[in-house]
Amino acid sequence: MAREATDVLIAGGGFAGLTLAIALRQALGPSFAVAVADPALGISHADDERASAIVAAARRLFETLGVWDRVSGEAQPILDMVVTDSRLDDVMRPVFLSFAGEVEPGEPFAHMIENRFLVAALAEKAKIEGVTLISSGVVEVSHDGERIVAELKDGRVIGARLLAAADGARSTIRASAGIATHGWTYDQSAIVTTVGHERDHGGRAEEHFLPAGPFAILPLKGNRSSIVWTEAKGEAERIVALPDEAFHAELEQRFKLHLGEIKTVGARRVHSLGFFVARSFIAERIALVGDAAHVIHPIAGQGLNMGLKDVAALAEVIVDAARLGLDPGSATVLERYQRWRRFDTVTMGIATDGLNRLFSNRSDVLRLARDIGLGLVDRVPNLKRLFIREAAGLVGDVPKLLRGEVL
């Protein structure tokens, strides 16, 4: 089979891969060829019940790319957030920290949206922008002078100046490049499901810190919420396997009845939790983005948004290089991307790991210390504003797209 050619080949057609493809085509035009390869591109996502938090910076990115207006009607703004710290059997859950949900007047710090709506909108936008979408995965890579050569499962061979690996935590590209990862798995798993409730949530997100780990209630459109429920691995497996009535009892004990009667309206899923960062985000003509580069604990809800920050940074360095007539896959260009993103990623990973260890325990001494700390933060408006802007992705060296600026 003859070798095909493209400027950038992206392995992985999820949020990160499709967003990168759209950004590059919009900035560099039809003369810059971009292809996305992922077997999931040929599969319908209509039954995907998962949901994600899109922080303000990521929403600005999607607005700039012309994607957000396609899904805004399905997005639930988070209008405020409360944080509690209690034992499982405590009758009352005192609020130690609360945040108003705006980073700017009229701009919520985050929205919740079901994945299927956003993935479908990104795939459609990619087609409109002229991105080549290939329903097959990369199985092997090699180098040929100024090109990286990717062999796909369907037998196609594609030569590209740059291969962007957006193929997830078990990245085939990362493994083929010999890039090691550093980190560990937690003795925790996250139970994820969707819950319906009698009363309107009012756009409020809740993070209840319990001894086993955080129990997050994240508002969705309608009287529904997405649940991310952390337990010890064995306990999570036990709870998910319970009959419906017993599962409901466990859920209600943690959710409580402040929103009236509740019921599970989505599938129950269990996800193992871990923390790892790739030793390098780049190799010869390869750049890692999203879960291929890093996985962190969901305690701060930053995993997806960190991946979109990778995308915005990589797109910016590629566009800057291409406009200067430079090779977008050169070591100099990729080093700029790595310097921009790896330190920030490691810092965020360590912070979320520390939060998880601080809050996921049964120590009364640590509980007292963290509750005093949360109470102090709650009483310092400037510190709260900084926290909310950090959570919204608007602190530090923010790429143009996340600031709402075109490339």
Helix, strand or coil, per DSSP, at residue 392: coil
Gyration radius of the chain's alpha carbons: 22
| Distance separating alpha carbons of residues 126 and 130, to the nearest angstrom | 6
At 145, the pLDDT band (50, 70, 90 cuts) reads confident
pLDDT tens-place string over residues 57-71: 999 999 999 999 999
Tell me: pLDDT of 2 over 90.
Answer: no
Which of 208-212, 317-321, 371-375 tops mean pLDDT?
317-321
pLDDT tens-place string over residues 217-234: 999 999 999 999 999 999
Mean pLDDT of the chain: 92
At 377, the pLDDT band (50, 70, 90 cuts) reads low
Crossing angle of helices 331-359/303-323, nearest 10°?
170
Which two structure tokens, joined as six digits, stand for 326? Answer: 């430079």
Out of 20-24, 300-304, 325-329, pick the least confident. 300-304
| Distance separating alpha carbons of residues 51 and 19, to the nearest angstrom | 17
Instruction: Tokens 């097959």: give the residue.
Output: 136
pLDDT tens-place string over residues 305-327: 999 999 999 999 999 999 999 99
- Dihedral over alpha carbons 97, 101, 104, 109 (to 10 degrees): 110
User: Which residues have C-beta within 8 Å of that of residue 47, sequence separation ≥ 6?
Assistant: 116
**Which amino acid is present at 167?**
D
The arithmetic mean of pLDDT across residues 294-315, rounded, is 90
Please give the distance of CA 134 from its chain centroid, rounded to a whole number.
23
Q: Do the Cβ atoms of 286 and 205 come closer than 8 Å?
A: no
- Where does 130-278 have alpha helices with state H? 172-176, 233-240, 244-255
Q: Is the pTM of this model over 0.75?
A: yes
At 157, the pLDDT band (50, 70, 90 cuts) reads very high
User: Which residues have C-beta within 8 Å of that of residue 306, sequence separation ≥ 6?
Assistant: 290, 294, 296, 345, 348
Instruction: Tokens 């938090």: give the residue.
Output: 53
DSSP 137: -
pLDDT tens-place string over residues 346-370: 888 887 877 777 767 666 666 666 6
